Amino acid sequence: MSDGVQIDGEGGETAPVATGHEVIQSHLRTLDSSPGVYRMLNAKSEVLYVGKARNLKARVSNYARPSGHSGRIARMISETASMMFLTTRTEMEALLLEQNLIKQLKPRYNVLLRDDKSFPNILIGKEHAFPQLKKHRGKRSEKGSYFGPFASAGAVNRTLNQLQKVFLLRNCSDAMFESRTRPCLLFQIKRCSAPCVGRVTPEQYAAQVSDAERFLQGKSTEVQAQLASQMAEASEAMEFERAAALRDRIRALTQVQSAQGINPRGVPEADVIALHLDGGQACVQVFFIRANQSWGNRDFYPRTGSGAEEPEILEAFVTQFYDDKEPPRLILLSHPVENEDLVTAALSERAGRKVELAVPQRGEKAELVENAARNAKESLARRMAEGAAQSKLLIGLADAFDLDAPPRRIEVYDNAHIQGSDAVGGMIVAGPDGFNKGQYRKFNIKGEAGKAGDDFGMMKEVLTRRFERLLKDDPERKTDAWPDLLLIDGGAGQVSAVGEIMAELGVEDIPFIGVAKGIDRDAGKEEFHRPGERPFALQRNDPVLYFVQRLRDEAHRWANGAHRAKRAKAVSATPLDDVPGVGAARKRALLAHFGSAKAVSRAGIADLMAVDGISEAMAQTIHDFFHDR
Averaged pLDDT of the chain: 85
pLDDT at 573: 60
Q: Looking at domain 575-628, which CATH architecture does it have? A: Orthogonal Bundle (1.10)
Give the separation between CA 334 and CA 591, rounded to whole angstroms.
Answer: 54
Closest by CA to 355, choosing from 381, 335, 332, 376, is 332
The pLDDT confidence band at residue 170, using thresholds 50, 70 and 90, is very high
pLDDT at 571: 53
Whether the full predicted model's pTM is greater than 0.75, yes or no, is: no
Q: Looking at domain 2-109, which CATH architecture does it have? A: 3-Layer(aba) Sandwich (3.40)
Domain ranges of the chain: 2-109, 121-259, 269-382, 410-570, 575-628
Query: Mind listing the pLDDT tens digit for each residue in 173-201?
Result: 888 898 888 899 999 888 899 999 999 99
Strand partners, 441: 427
At residue 507, does pLDDT exceed 60?
Answer: yes
Q: What is the mean pLDDT of residues 477-486?
A: 89
pLDDT at 1: 44
More confident call, 161 vs 85: 85
Give the separation between CA 49 and CA 68, rounded to whole angstroms.
Answer: 19
Question: Which amino acid type is present at position 568?
Answer: A
Buried (b) or exposed (e) across 312-351, using 16+ Cβ within 10 A? bbbbbbbbbbbeeeebbebbbbbbebebbebbbbbbeebe
Q: What is the mean pLDDT of residues 158-185?
A: 87
Q: Looking at 506-594, which runs of residues are DSSP E strands?
A: 512-516, 527-529
Q: What is the mean pLDDT of residues 427-432?
A: 93
Sheet order of strands, 121-125 included: 133-136, 121-125, 144-147
For strands 441-444 and 421-431, give the pairing. Answer: antiparallel
pLDDT at 629: 54
pLDDT at 348: 94
Do residues 490 and 515 touch, judged by C-beta distance below 8 A? yes
Q: Classify residue 406 by its DSSP letter.
A: -
Alpha-carbon distances, residue 153 vs 135, 149, 170, 526 (angstroms): 8, 10, 19, 36
Same fold, 410-570 and 575-628: no
Percent of the chain with pLDDT over 70: 90
Alpha-carbon distances, residue 417 vs 147, 394, 406, 453, 565 (angstroms): 39, 31, 33, 7, 12
Of the options 3.10.150.10, 1.20.810.10, 3.40.50.720, 3.30.420.340, the CATH number for the domain spanning 269-382? 3.30.420.340
Query: Mind listing the pLDDT tens digit for each residue in 538-574?
Result: 888 889 999 999 999 999 999 888 878 777 665 556 6
Give the separation between CA 159 and CA 153, rounded to whole angstroms.
Answer: 10
The pLDDT confidence band at residue 286, using thresholds 50, 70 and 90, is very high
The pLDDT confidence band at residue 25, using thresholds 50, 70 and 90, is very high
Give the separation between CA 341 and CA 327, rounded to whole angstroms.
Answer: 15
Of the options 3.30.420.340, 3.30.110.70, 3.90.1170.50, 1.10.1840.10, the CATH number for the domain spanning 410-570? 3.30.420.340
Query: Mind listing the pLDDT tens digit for each residue in 31-81?
Result: 999 999 999 999 989 999 999 999 999 999 999 998 888 888 999 999 999
Phi, psi values for residue 513, rounded to 5°: -130, 135
pLDDT at 263: 64
Residues 6+ apart with CB under 8 A from 433: 301, 383, 387, 390
